[in-house]
Amino acid sequence: MDNFSRFEAASASDILSWAIDTFGDSFAIATSFQKEGMVILDLASRLSAGVRVFTLDTGRLPDETYRMMETVRQRYGIPVDIIFPERDEVEHLVAFHGPNLFYSSVQARQRCCDVRKVRPLERKLETLKAWATGLRRDQAETRAAISKVERGPTGRMKICPLADWSAARVEQYIAQHGVPVHPLYERGFTSIGCAPCTRAVQPGESERAGRWWWEEDAKKECGIHFAPDGSVARNIVEEAEPREMHKGFTVWFTGMSGAGKSTISRLLELKLRQHGARVEVLDGDIVRTHLSKGLGFSKEDRDENVRRIGFVCELLARHGVIAIAAAI
């Protein structure tokens, strides 16, 4: 059984030194260029010029964060690996839920964090044996029990060298060592994330009050660091997509009998349902046994069948359903 309690008494610098020596290139520092991340970066740069650093570019970051990436490159000469979300996942998210879905519900916000942050982080971590983050225990209730060093369920080491640091100690280190500070702190921000989800805090508010400020009771976490029980874990949102947030329209497959219209329709239906869409297939032959019972195969009867299918498709689409028609 692992016993990493020995690290509790170790300094942040000693822990980073151990991680760099032990894991080499399989160790990296994750940072969003907040004060804690910059302190870790500064400490690590004094130990190794080649320490690896990465950041997640969600596509919704404030301009000031990109300026910090440049500052780090210039000040420390450390290249920052910028990790992006999968384009297809973002396109799907935005197509079905809109670009600002995070304001509509906690679940929608977590879904956005999942696509733009959690999954990219997961992909990056698969390349590492150990990683460091700037979490501190007194930042939030959800962070009160973090360890300085712990092994995750997959065996990867998660290192929080500043776990027992206070905000004042972070400030002191920054002042002593001239560490670059994210410009948004000057404008009253105390925690910095994506532009639409972060605001400055008021005097007396908690450090993370400016994150997802419109949420009242939710834990202010994106799913990267904490499971719902407060233990340190990733928390990928598995919940199904809501079923009433896309527009209705009609897809019509036509062709001779045996051309594969029904098969293609069912495959498309399956795919769309996997993405949570509301779909109905109107197969010409099946419609004939219900809505068009009694119609034959003369040109007039075929036209009438198609007209009826079109009418139903239009009604379905008007009510937000994707109607797939498969008829000659």
Q: Per DSSP, what are the bridge partners of residue 159?
A: 132, 149
118 binds ligand SF4 (CB under 6 A): no
Strand 80-83 to 52-56 pairing: parallel
Interface region with ligand SF4, contact rule CB under 6 A, candidates 109-117, 156-164, 178-186, 226-234: 109-117
Residue type, 299: K
Q: Binding to ligand SF4 (CB under 6 A): which residues in 54-83?
A: 58, 60
- Residue 41 or 112 having the CB closest to ligand SF4: 112
Interface region with ligand SF4, contact rule CB under 6 A, candidates 13-21, 74-82, 164-172, 188-196: 188-196
State the residue number with the nearest CB to ligand SF4: 194
Who's near 284: CB < 8 A, 6+ residues apart? 261, 305, 306, 309, 325, 326, 327, 328
184 binds ligand SF4 (CB under 6 A): no
- Residue 40 or 101 having the CB closest to ligand SF4: 101
Q: What are phi and psi of 56, to 5 degrees?
A: -100, 120
282 binds ligand SF4 (CB under 6 A): no
| Of positions 196, 230, 242, 276, contacts ligand SF4 by CB under 6 A | 196
Count H helices, E strands: the chain? 10, 9
- Residue 52 or 109 having the CB closest to ligand SF4: 109
| Of positions 35, 52, 97, 116, contacts ligand SF4 by CB under 6 A | 116
121 binds ligand SF4 (CB under 6 A): no
Q: Binding to ligand SF4 (CB under 6 A): which residues in 198-227?
A: 222
* Shortest distance in whole angstroms from residue 76 CB to ligand SF4: 26
* 20-59 footprint of ligand SF4 as x/- string (CB under 6 A): --------------------------------------x-
H or E, element range at 15:
helix 12-23
| Of positions 52, 97, 117, 246, contacts ligand SF4 by CB under 6 A | 117
| Of positions 109, 136, 208, 288, contacts ligand SF4 by CB under 6 A | 109
* 236-275 footprint of ligand SF4 as x/- string (CB under 6 A): ----------------------------------------
Query: How many CB atoms lie under 10 A from the CB of residue 106?
Result: 16
Q: CA 202 from chain center: how many Å? A: 27
Cα–Cα distance for residue pair 283/132, rounded to 1 Å: 55
187 exposed, middle or buried (CB, 10 Å; 0-12, 13-18, 19+)? exposed
Q: CA 35 from chain center: how many Å? A: 22
**Contact status, residue 117 vs residue 224, Cβ threshold 8 Å:** yes
Instruction: Note the residue count of the chain.
Output: 328
**What separation in angstroms does the CA of 22 have from each of 13, 16, 129, 179?**
14, 10, 10, 26
Q: Is 194 a catalytic residue?
A: no
| Of positions 159, 194, 232, 327, contacts ligand SF4 by CB under 6 A | 194
Which parts of this chain interact with ligand SF4 (CB under 6 A)? Answer: 58, 60, 102, 109, 112-113, 116-117, 193-194, 196-197, 222
Catalytic residues: 222
